[in-house]
Chains A and B, each alone.
Chain A
Amino acid sequence: MQRSFRIFIKNMKIKTFVLHVIFLVGLLSWVSDNENSWIQPGKGGILPAEVAFSNPNGTLGYVNVDGDINMEGHPFFEPLGTNGRACVSCHQPKDAMSVSTQSLQQRWNETQGQDPIFAAIDGSNNPKLPQQLESSHSLLLKRGLFRISLPWPVKTDNGKTIKPEFSIEVVSDPTGVNVDPELGLENGNISVFRRPRSVANMTYVMSPDPVFNIKTGTLAVTDPETGKVVGMNMMADSRHYTQKQQALDAYFGHLQGHNTLTDVQLKQILDFQNKLFMAQSHDKWGGKLVENGEPAGLGPHNMKAGKVHILANNNRDPIFHWFNNWKNKETMPQSLNAEQKDFRESVARGNDIFMFREFWIRDATHINSLGLGNPVRRSCATCHNGQMTAQDLAPGWVDLGTTTYPTWTENHLANQKSDLPIFKCTCNKNAAPHPFLGRVIYTTDPGRALISGKCIDIGSIVMQQFRGLSARAPYFVNGSAKTLHELVDYYDRRFDIKYTEQEKTDLVNFLSVL
Chain B
Amino acid sequence: MNLEISIGDLQVRIFKLRLTNILVLMLFNSLFISAIFAQQKTRNPKSEIRNFLTCPIIRDSKTFPCWLVEYNGETYYLGQQGRSGSLFYPPQLKHQVLVEGRIKDGSRLCGGIVLEPVTISVMPELDLSCNTLLPAQDGLEPPPPIPYPENAPFADDTRNFTILFDFDSDFLSLHKTRIVGEVVRIAKVNGLKNIVIKTFRGTTLLSNGQKLIEKEEIAELRAGKLYDIFEGLGFAKEHIKLAIKTNPEKADGIIDVGKRRAEILIF
Instruction: Give the docked Cα–Cα distance between A389 and B185 (Å).
Output: 33
Q: Summarize B's interface: helix, strand, loop or mixed.
A: loop
A436 contacts B by Cβ under 8 Å:
yes
Q: Inside 8 A of A437's CB, which chain B residues have their CB?
A: 126
Interface string of B157-192 (1 = CB under 8 A from A): 000000000000001111011001100000000000
Taking CB atoms and an 8 Å cut-off, the chain A residues in 348-374 that contact chain B are 360, 362-363, 368-374
Taken together as a complex, chains A and B put the C-alpha atoms of A413 and B173 apart, in Å, by 40
Answer whether residue B105 sits at the interface, using C-beta atoms and an 8 A cutoff.
no
A211, A218, A360, A372: the one within 8 Å of B90 (CB) = A372
Known: A218-B228, A377-B60. A212 touches B91 (CB 8 A): no
Complexed CA–CA distance, A374 and B228 (Å): 30
Q: Contact check: which of A211, A217, A370, A438 meets B176 at CB < 8 Å?
A: A217
The answer to whether B58 has its CB under 8 Å from any CB of chain A is yes
Interface residues of B in 38-92 (CB under 8 A from A): 58, 60, 64-65, 67, 81-84, 86, 89-92
- Contact check, B90 vs A373: say whether CB atoms are below 8 A apart: yes
Q: Looking at the assembled complex, report how far the CB atom of B78 sits from the nearest CB atom of chain A, in whole angstroms.
A: 10
Question: What mask results when residues 208 to 243 of chain A are scored 1 for a CB within 8 Å of chain B, else 0?
Answer: 000110100111000000000000000000000000
Contact size class for A? 20 to 34
Contact in complex: A375, B93 (CB < 8 Å) = yes
Contacts of B94 in A (CB 8 A): 363, 374, 435-436
Contacts of A430 in B (CB 8 A): 217
What is the distance, in angstroms, from B263's C-beta to the closest C-beta of chain A? 18
Question: Is A161 an interface position by the 8 A CB rule?
Answer: yes
Give the residue name and chain of the A residue nearest to B65 (CB). A377
Are A163 and B9 interface neighbours, CB within 8 A?
A: yes
* Inter-chain contact A370/B84, CB cutoff 8 Å: yes
User: How far is it, in angstroms, between the C-alpha of A106 and the C-alpha of B224 when the chains are bound?
Assistant: 54
- How far apart sit A432 and B225, CA to CA, in the bound complex (Å)? 15
A372 touches B83 (CB 8 A): yes
A433 at the interface (CB under 8 A from B): yes
Tell me, yes or no, whether A150 is within 8 Å of chain B by CB.
no
Q: Does B144 contact A (CB under 8 A)?
A: no
Question: What is the chain B residue whose CB lies nearest that of A163?
Answer: B9
> How many residues on chain B are close to A (CB under 8 Å)?
39
Smallest CB separation, A394 vs chain B (Å): 9
**Complex contact B172–A218 (CB within 8 A):** yes
Q: A375, B177: Cβ atoms under 8 Å? A: no
Give the interface centre of A218, A363, A433, A438 by most chain B CB atoms within 10 Å: A218
Nearest B residue to A360, CB-CB: B133
* Contact in complex: B232, A219 (CB < 8 Å): yes
A511 to B108: give the CA distance in the assembly, Å: 44
**Which among B8, B82, B173, B181 is the interface contact of A217 at CB below 8 angstroms?**
B173
Roughly how many angstroms separate A369 CA and B89 CA in the complex, as a whole number? Answer: 10
Residues of B within 8 A of A374 (CB): 90-95
Indicate if A376 sits at the interface (CB-CB under 8 A): yes
Q: Are A368 and B232 in contact (CB under 8 A)?
A: no
Q: Which of A142-163 contact B (CB under 8 A)?
A: 161, 163
B124 and A433 form a contact (CB under 8 A): yes
Complex Cα gap A163–B229 (Å):
19
Say yes or no: A217 contacts B171, CB within 8 Å. Answer: yes
Q: Is B134 in the interface zone, CB < 8 Å from A?
A: no
B174 adjacent to A371 (CB under 8 Å):
yes
Whether B173 lies near A371 (C-beta < 8 A) is yes
Contact status B126-A436, CB under 8 Å: yes
**Minimum CB–CB distance for B123 against chain A, Å:** 11
Q: Is B138 an interface residue (CB 8 A)?
A: no
A372 to B88, CA, bound (A): 9
- Least CB distance from A218 to B in Å reads 7
**How far, in whole Å, are A373 and B11 apart by their CA atoms in the complex?**
35
**List of B residues within 8 angstroms of A368 by Cβ:** 92
Smallest CB-CB separation from B67: which chain A residue? A373
Per the 8 Å Cβ criterion, residues 193-225 of B in contact with A are 217, 225
Q: What residues on A are CB-neighbors of B90 within 8 Å?
A: 371-374, 376
Instruction: Return the chain B residue nearest A363 by Cβ.
Output: B94
Among A161, A218, A370, A372, point to the contact of B225 (Cβ < 8 A). A218
**B150 close to A (CB within 8 Å):** no
- Cross-chain contact B126 with A375 (CB below 8 angstroms): no
Closest to A376 in B: B81
Indicate if the CB atoms of B67 and A161 lie closer than 8 Å.
no
Residues from chain B with Cβ under 8 Å of A433 in the complex = 124-126
Given A218-B228, A219-B229, A368-B92, decide whether A377 and B125 contact each other with a Cβ distance below 8 A: no
Residue of A nearest to B130 (CB): A374
Task: State whether the Cβ of B233 lies closer than 8 Å to any Cβ in chain A.
Answer: yes
CB distance from A33 to the nearest CB of B (A): 48
CA distance A393 to B251 in the complex (A): 41
Q: A375 is contacted by which of B95, B133, B172, B217 (Cβ under 8 Å)?
A: B133
Q: Are A161 and B89 in contact (CB under 8 A)?
A: no
The distance from the CB of B178 to the nearest CB of chain A, in whole angstroms, is 9
**Residues in chain B near residue A218, CB distance under 8 A:** 172, 225, 228-229
Q: Are B171 and A435 in contact (CB under 8 A)?
A: no
Output the least CB separation between B230 and chain A (Å).
10
Within the assembled complex, what's the spacing in Å between the Cα atoms of A182 and B171? 39
- Given A362-B93, A373-B90, 17 other A-B contacts at CB below 8 A? A161-B9, A212-B174, A212-B177, A212-B180, A217-B225, A219-B232, A219-B233, A371-B84, A371-B86, A371-B90, A371-B173, A373-B58, A373-B65, A376-B90, A377-B81, A433-B124, A435-B94
Instruction: Jot down 7 A-B pairs with beta carbons below 8 A, ordered by A.
Output: A212-B180, A218-B172, A219-B229, A368-B92, A373-B67, A373-B81, A374-B91
8 tightest Cβ-Cβ pairs between the two chains A and B: A373-B90, A374-B92, A217-B172, A371-B89, A212-B177, A219-B232, A438-B126, A163-B9
